[in-house]
Structure 1
Amino acid sequence: MWPESEGRRGPNEVASCLFDYMKERSLQSVKEIHMFSNNCGGQDRNRYVAFALWFARNHLSLSKITHTFLEKGHTETENDSIHATIERATRRLEVYTPDQWYTAVRAARVSKQPYKVKEMTAKDFVDFKSMSNKVKNLQLVTMGRKLCGAEPGSLP
């Protein structure tokens, strides 16, 4: 989570959050990441998120990243349940600051472990947009083939 003063809600922020999560999991010796997304082009189905996944695969100790897009009209995920739980828990609260939101989200889940909240700041966001624009012929390819125009380690 982050306040509006630290970042927007676009594809670069989503890509940065995904990369941060994959980096954390990689440090825990996880080798495969399986993720599911809806078909929101503005947030998860775009070249910046695709580039972030490619970058993570080539710069972290991950052997496989599988990104599955759910069929339109059938995109309800666990995240929807999480958002509903948070909405119910905060419905009657007066929340004014980002710190209050972080606390409210952590406390929203009462029957199981609290939700884990990563407090993102501007320095946590990677500029995947600029990085991907340096790659020529960025395109989806068949399994087993490298992404055209870029080699691992060739980007900052």
Structure 2
Amino acid sequence: MNPSTLKNKQKCHQNLDPKVHTKVETDVKDFLKNWLRDLPRVDSYYCRSTATYKDKKFLYQGTTISQLHREYGQAAATAGVRAVGIQYFAAVFHEENYSVVIPRKDQCDVCVSFKHGNISKVAYDAHVTKKDEARQEKSRDKDSADEEKSIWIMDLQAVLLCPKAQANSLYYKTKLQVHNFTLFNLRPQGGYCYVWDESEGDLCSEVFAHLQYHHFEGVIKGHPDLKEIIVWSDGCCYQNRNTCVANAYSELARKYGVLITQKYLLAGHTQMECDSMHSTIERKIVADIYTPRDYVVILQTARIRPSPYYVKVLKHDEFLKLNGSYFFSIRPGKKVGDLTVHDLQGVQFSSEGKVNFKLSFSEDSVWEELPQMGQWHG
């Protein structure tokens, strides 16, 4: 390689790295960073605790860097600012910690690690056994559903953005996040959608505790012969597996004299009947979306048989805070190194106020009393 060619390659490499690039004016850099900062982002709620993803700024699914660069070029021309090339644009994009790829919710770290030879066959087999046990337990619960026992599946649908349109003038404008919390009754297969946008409420544990409390309170009042409720979900801590939700279930069990059990599928293997609800809804979205009300109409008409989904739109004044608590922790251990909430496979709330837990669904597993139980704290 001759000296002139080497010099040109080094210059090209510098153009790709915004940290060493010296020929881009300050106002051009600032305009680019401010333009990126205004892009609508999607929360990756299932990766908040993962070091690789927790600080990432995920963009709406389907976004590409080339599309972004074209929109940026038009915005720069309108503002009278010089637009940088796509290579420098991409370098700044990644330096600012943006991503156009949202990691899959149902990807299993253990299975991927085994595929790449990072864990032993023994550890992988134990993982598969635990997954199969949870699936078999869920199947047994489904078969046992009757007038006295109600089996439910619940999950939060991937965020819905509004407006949603193919037109470039709308595609990258600031968007409103719409949330749809779904519950599915395995017998008789009734679907329920609780909808709100980010101006009315967020995704904190108190919101989900409120939704589950009032939903299952309605179920109990509508079925006077009901004695037991079993709820299956993934193990998302702020959504399903936390003290706030546990206190709500404990209050329901005490107040109405029913047995309520939460059960969790194994992380990475959380395919549920709610997924069919989400798929049905997404297939119905064929036209542009301009307001959250457009999503409500889609939810109401997404299914016809055996019955349409029940849809309730929630406002901020309907999200109520819990007044007091029965216990401050559902952790099965007490000190450092003991079991944590992530080890829970099931939590059970009795009408007498007892809370029991399970660490697996194997044949020899038993319900144990939660060690953190205390008195009511108001």
Shorter-chain TM-score: what band? 0.7 to 0.9
Q: 1:123 to 1:57 in 2, by over 3 A?
A: farther
Q: Which residue of 1 aligns with 2:233?
A: 37
Question: After the TM superposition, which of the residue ranges 37-46 and 93-102 deviates more from structure 2?
Answer: 93-102
Q: 1:18 to 1:62 in 2, by over 3 A?
A: farther
Structure 1 position 100, deviation (Å) = 1.8
Structure 1 position 107, deviation (Å) = 0.7
The amino acid of 2:330's aligned partner reads: Q
Residue 287 (structure 2) pairs with residue 121 (structure 1): no
Q: Which residue of 1 aligns with 2:345?
A: none
The amino acid of 2:261's aligned partner reads: T
Structure 1 position 8, deviation (Å) = 0.9
Q: 1:136 to 1:16 in 2, by over 3 A?
A: closer
Q: 1:122 to 1:62 in 2, by over 3 A?
A: farther
Rounded Cα–Cα distance in structure 2 between residues aligned with 1:76 and 1:58: 31
Q: RMSD across aligned C-alpha pairs, in angstroms?
A: 2.4
Structure 1 position 20, deviation (Å) = 1.1
Which residue of 79, 86, 99 maps to 2:293? Answer: 99
Q: 1:62 to 1:125 in 2, by over 3 A?
A: farther
Q: Which residue of 2 aligns with 1:54?
A: 250
Are the counterparts in 2 of residues 26 and 62 from structure 1 also a CA contact under 8 Å?
no
Rounded Cα–Cα distance in structure 2 between residues aligned with 1:131 and 1:93: 45
Rounded Cα–Cα distance in structure 1 between residues aligned with 2:279 and 2:221: 31
Query: What secondary structure, in the 3-state scheme, does the structure 2 residue paired with 1:118 have?
Result: strand
The amino acid of 2:310's aligned partner reads: K
Which residue of 211, 219, 231 maps to 1:17? Answer: 211
Q: Which has the larger radius of gyration?
A: 2
Deviations 1:26-85 (A, max 9, x none): 2112332111010111211111111111122123x1411011111222211111111111
Structure 1 position 126, deviation (Å) = 2.4
Q: Pairwise mapping of residues 113-152 of structure 1 onto structure 2 (< 5 A)?
A: 113-128=307-322, 131-132=324-325, 135=326, 137-139=328-330, 141-142=355-356, 148-151=373-376
Higher strand share: 2
Q: 1:99 to 1:62 in 2, by over 3 A?
A: farther
Q: 1:137 to 1:45 in 2, by over 3 A?
A: closer
Rounded Cα–Cα distance in structure 1 between residues aligned with 2:319 and 2:330: 23
Aligned length: 148
Q: 1:137 to 1:100 in 2, by over 3 A?
A: closer
The amino acid of 1:43's aligned partner reads: Q
Are the counterparts in 1 of residues 243 and 328 from structure 2 also a CA contact under 8 Å?
no
Residue 242 (structure 2) pairs with residue 82 (structure 1): no
The amino acid of 1:120's aligned partner reads: L
Rounded Cα–Cα distance in structure 2 between residues aligned with 1:62 and 1:26: 10
Which residue of 289, 306, 326 maps to 1:112? Answer: 306
Among the aligned pairs, what percent are the same residue? Answer: 30
Q: 1:27 to 1:89 in 2, by over 3 A?
A: same
Structure 1 position 98, deviation (Å) = 2.4
Structure 1 position 144, deviation (Å) = 8.4
Rounded Cα–Cα distance in structure 2 between residues aligned with 1:104 and 1:25: 24
Q: Which residue of 2 aligns with 1:5?
A: 199
Q: 1:136 to 1:77 in 2, by over 3 A?
A: closer
